Amino acid sequence: MPMEVLPGPAGYIPTPAAFEGVELPAPGKALLHGKIVDEELAMREAAKAMLTRRNPTIFPGPLVLWGWNAGAMEKAKAVLELSMEIPNCRIIPMPDYRPKYPKIDPEAEINPNHPNLTILHNKIEACIFVGVHCHYANLSLRMIRAGTNCFTIALCAEMGHEDAMVSLRDVHAEEIRKFRDVLVQVRNELGIKWEPKMPPENPSLPKEEYQTLSVLDYGEYSYLLIPRRGEHVTETE
């Protein structure tokens, strides 16, 4: 009997769901709480979570955020369409996977190496992972299940993720639009009134005016940027 994959906190370093008998679904099927079910049913449960739990958030990964091919850009468009239909939805991006030390801004981005910071800070109880490379999605989803009570939904372009509460497979732009239609249907059934609108913009700091900065703005450290007077690069050879 495979384990039931439920929102956490499951405790420090939980056993991966794959080790507890959860298997990835065949094409056309999906995972709901670790069980293989019809895609439609999984979509409805995912939609219900995004519509009823607190602070629903979409975490788009690099495969969506960066327009590296036509498919990625189309998928990005579909993600934005989906976000418009979820009441009070937010978009917090995961632009890459590099570690962020000494600290990240949890309202502006999510980092796969410590996703719990962003989720706990923003009190997110339902989220969608889309466009995140599978190895980092696996890492993040397990950490989220370990330390938070967030309901995780993986819209995976490959085979899916055992550690997500709902995992859909082979998800591209077309399937995201199908999920959006299911979500609108569930929203109407639940009697939630919502006019589609774009989520709020990223709250990170305003950009610096690099054009107007000069070396002299760096004060006593400017000597690290420019050679001293009279100092020349000796010619080689």
Partner 1 sequence: MGLEYVRISPGFEKYMPKDYVDLVQYGQFGKEIDVQQLGQFKELVEEHPMCAGCFMAYFVRVFYASLPKPEDTIVIGTAGCARLALSQAAVPFIYGNYGDTNAVASGLKRALSIRFPDKEKDVVVIAGDGGLIDIGFGMTMHSWFRREKFTTIMVDNEVYGNTGGQESGMSPRGVQLKMAPKGKQFDKINAVELAKVAGCVYVAKLAPTNPKRIAKTVRRAILAARHFGPTFIHAYTSCNIEYSIPTEKVLEDARKREKQDFGFYEWMTDEVKEFFEELERKPEEVKA
What is the closest distance, in whole angstroms, from the C-beta atom of residue 216 to partner 1 in the complex? 9
What is the closest distance, in whole angstroms, from the C-beta atom of residue 208 to partner 1 in the complex? 7
Distance (Å, whole) CA 94 – CA 205:
17
* Closer by beta carbon to partner 1, 193 or else 207: 207
140: CB partners within 8 A, 6+ apart: 110, 112, 115, 129, 132
Closest C-alpha among 89, 90, 94 to residue 65:
94
Using CB under 8 A as the binding rule, whether residue 215 contacts partner 1 is answered as yes
Using CB under 8 A as the binding rule, whether residue 121 contacts partner 1 is answered as no
HSE-up of 183 (CA within 13 Å, CB side)? 25
Question: With contacts defined by CB under 8 A, how many residues of the chain interact with partner 1?
Answer: 49
Using CB under 8 A as the binding rule, whether residue 88 contacts partner 1 is answered as no
Closest C-alpha among 61, 8, 60, 53 to residue 33:
8
The tokens for 7 are 């929102």
Query: Is the separation of the CB atoms in 150 and 161 below 8 Å?
Result: no
Q: Among 3, 18, 55, 66, which residue interacts with partner 1 (rule: CB under 8 A)? A: 66
Among positions 91-110, residues that touch partner 1 (CB under 8 A) are: 91, 93, 95-96, 98-102, 105, 108-109
| Binding region for partner 1 (CB under 8 A) | 60, 64-69, 72-73, 76-77, 80, 91, 93, 95-96, 98-102, 105, 108-109, 199, 201-202, 204-208, 210-211, 213-215, 217-218, 223-227, 231, 233-234, 236-237
